[in-house]
Structure 1
Amino acid sequence: MSKANSKSNNPWIYVIKNEDGLLQPYANYDREMFDQMPFDKVLRVNVAQQRSQPRHRLYRVLLRQVVKNTDMFVSEDSLHKTLLLGCGVTEPIMTTAGEIIMIPSSTAFDAMKEEVFKAYFDEAVNIISTHIIPGVDINELLDEARAEANFKEAA
């Protein structure tokens, strides 16, 4: 049985309700995803008010930018798992052969508090700028991600 908050391959799209009662994309990132939705089809929507965690959103947009600008990762999720391992955000599991291995853990809101996520975010940015895209102007990349995510808080 799946949990209500289980992982999904469907991306989160943030929307705001305008004065006419219509939902519209919140930022450019959302608009791109929103434009990919089919017309005249019934869609299942899970309505949840965004937590006040814009840094998490900035992180996801940053992942998207890195994937678009390198050939190293097939998806944002594969980059995310690489960064989790690189930052030591892991959990041990035992293989059927009895070997203990570390697998990526989670940055979900219920799994990681904001202050821990902030430290993770900073280390992930460091890994991106030193190992994944060495020499990239990380401040420029972050500025682009902030604009794309409509990020208002200091990162």
Structure 2
Amino acid sequence: MAKKPDKPVYSFIRKGNVLMPEMGYDLRALDGVANGQRVRIEVKEWRNLDRLRAYWSLLHEAVASTGMSISAEKLHEVIKLETGLVDLVRLPNGMTVAIPSSIALDKMGEPEFIAFFQSAEEFLARVYGFASEREQAA
């Protein structure tokens, strides 16, 4: 069975009590909508990309500083497992296993990512004795 393609994501900016399309692409999403027509939207805030970059920088710094034999990508998977960011999957034999969940921008909101990032920092400090340069400066 083929996977359904993801729906496009459009961006609007609030100006008073009106949502304005951010770019022409977003404006074209309204082409089939008549003035006064009622539509359904889902409001989601965009994730902070600088925070996501800081997270990946932390992982690379931890790998380089501690001499871990794993990559930042593998450490990321370990952190998700160790901090409980998992999906539980039941196998055909009845056993349940934990599979790391996603931190993708469309899968996790900003508040959840902030909590995950803090858990990752705590995990690295507790298990590897690692504190980032940013934390040491604070």
**TM-score after normalising by structure 1:** 0.53
Which of 80, 95, 98 is the aligned partner of 2:94? 98
Say whether 1:109 aligns with 2:105: yes
**Structural RMSD (CA):** 2.7
The CA distance in 2 between the partners of 1:126 and 1:51, in whole Å, is 22
Cα displacement string for residues 109-130 of structure 1 (whole angstroms, at most 9, x for unaligned residues): 0111001100110111011111
Unaligned residue ranges in structure 2 (runs of 5+): 7-45
* Ranges of 4+ aligned residues in structure 1 off by more than 6 Å: 1-5
1:88 alignment partner in structure 2: 84
Describe how 1:116-135 pairs up with structure 2 within 5 A: 116-132=112-128, 134=129
1:127–1:52 CA distance, 2 compared to 1 (3 A): closer
Unaligned residue ranges in structure 1 (runs of 5+): 6-49, 145-155
Cα displacement string for residues 38-78 of structure 1 (whole angstroms, at most 9, x for unaligned residues): xxxxxxxxxxxx96421111000111111112343421111
Percent sequence identity is 29
The CA distance in 2 between the partners of 1:143 and 1:91, in whole Å, is 30
1:52–1:143 CA distance, 2 compared to 1 (3 A): same
Is this contact kept in 2: 1:90–1:103, CA < 8 A? yes
Secondary structure of the structure 1 residue equivalent to 2:97: strand
The offset of 1:85, in angstroms, is 1.1
Is this contact kept in 2: 1:90–1:102, CA < 8 A? yes
Highest RCO, 1 vs 2 (Cα 8 Å, sep ≥ 6)? 1
The offset of 1:4, in angstroms, is 8.5
Number of aligned positions between the proteins: 96
Is this contact kept in 1: 2:89–2:99, CA < 8 A? yes
The offset of 1:3, in angstroms, is 8.9
Say whether 1:79 aligns with 2:75: yes
Secondary structure of the structure 2 residue equivalent to 1:122: helix
1:72–1:115 CA distance, 2 compared to 1 (3 A): same
The CA distance in 2 between the partners of 1:3 and 1:125, in whole Å, is 36
2:49 alignment partner in structure 1: 53
1:77 aligned partner, one-letter code: E
1:91 aligned partner, one-letter code: D
Say whether 1:142 aligns with 2:134: yes
